Amino acid sequence: MKYFRMPLVGLLSATLLVAGVGTATADDAPQGSARSGTAPLRALADRAGLRIGTAVDMAALADDTAYRRMVGREFDSVTAENVMKWEVVEPARGTYDWSGADELVRFARERGQVVRGHTLVWHSQLPGWLTTGVADGSIGAAELRSILRKHVTTEVKRYKGRIQQWDVVNEVFEEDGSLRDSIWLRELGPSYIADAFRWAHAADPKAKLFLNDYNVEGVNAKSTAYYDLAKRLRAEGVPVQGFGIQGHLAIQYGFPGDVPENLARFARLGMQTAFTEVDVRMILPADAEKLATQAAYFRGLLDACLGSRSCRSFTVWGFTDKYSWVPGVFAGQGAATLTGEDYGRKPAYAAVREGLMEGR
């Protein structure tokens, strides 16, 4: 995923929260009580009627005990950061590798967590055999559509009943609201979006099916394009049931305006909403002022979710800077998550905790 945020008008007016640094618990399960201040985030989220989630790095889950314990203790929803993407699950045509995805689903089941599936149709992280075949003309449009249908159907059926929400179609619009010039649009036309939702629904009628994108937190050209698309598809009977707002923010660009209003208009369509990939990056080095602003941004998105009847899922895109994707994509930026590289809790963790407690 690449993310480029344009400046957005409006700063969040919020109390800047300060918290001390803590360490990861040794417990690999939710424990503690709200009264003693030791309750994990998932316990507080449950009382607030919300799922609190994280993206999971499967290599870290296998090799880092502290990371594994915190995933199990703090969160009641997990998303595969990479292991459910097409290039991973079908690296060679007809040859599948479900090992990472299977392990995440097993891990979640043992800890009473739900799973968000990410992602079925995307322009990025496609297997080389697919992109090469389209480029050299050996895979034509009719065959490509058949391949896409098989991919969506195979993956969704494999996890039928075990995935609560799927990001079916990911990042299909440009910032100006025009459809992204992707392999799917060029070869299949815009109908691939409706097709993907129909195929996913047929494979698992109980899973909630989401559109998902970045820079759509507030009301803007891009989020309006999604609103218009969802309204049209739903009127046609296409099972578009949710709108996923990634929530990759950067403090140097300000807090997006109209977030509650944006959630409300999707709710009026009868759709669920969710924050699906929240992190808040900054220009390094971090300092107390930047961390306080970061905390306010996390709290602003969480409060918008808690204040919406449609939003019942809030997922951070990783919870520790140790494994964050941000520094590898944005040179000189980082410190984007709830805890530091040593798992020490930042003011952002305290902000989310307080928000969940007040959201009950």
What 3-state DSSP class applies to 213? strand
**Is residue 354 annotated as part of the catalytic site, yes or no?**
no
Kindly report the three-state secondary structure assignment for every residue of 40-69: CHHHHHHHCCCEEEEEECHHHHHHCHHHHH
> What does the alpha-carbon distance between residue 223 and residue 177 come to, in Å, rounded to a whole number?
8
Q: Using CB atoms within 10 A of its CB, is residue 177 exposed (0-12), middle (13-18) or buried (19+)? A: middle
Q: Which residue is catalytic, options 261, 277, 354, 358?
A: 277
> What does the alpha-carbon distance between residue 332 and residue 348 come to, in Å, rounded to a whole number?
20
| Radius of gyration (C-alpha) of the chain in whole angstroms | 20
Buried residues in 56-80 as b, exposed as e (16+ CB within 10 A): bbbebbeebebbbbbbbbbbbbbbb
**Is residue 358 annotated as part of the catalytic site, yes or no?**
no
The label of the residue with tokens 């939710």 reads 30
E strands, the chain, are: 51-56, 77-80, 114-121, 165-170, 208-213, 242-245, 248-250, 272-283, 311-316, 333-334
Q: Running DSSP on this structure, what letter comes out for residue 249?
A: E
Q: Which residue is catalytic, options 81, 90, 155, 171?
A: 171
Residues annotated as catalytic (active site), given as ranges: 171, 277
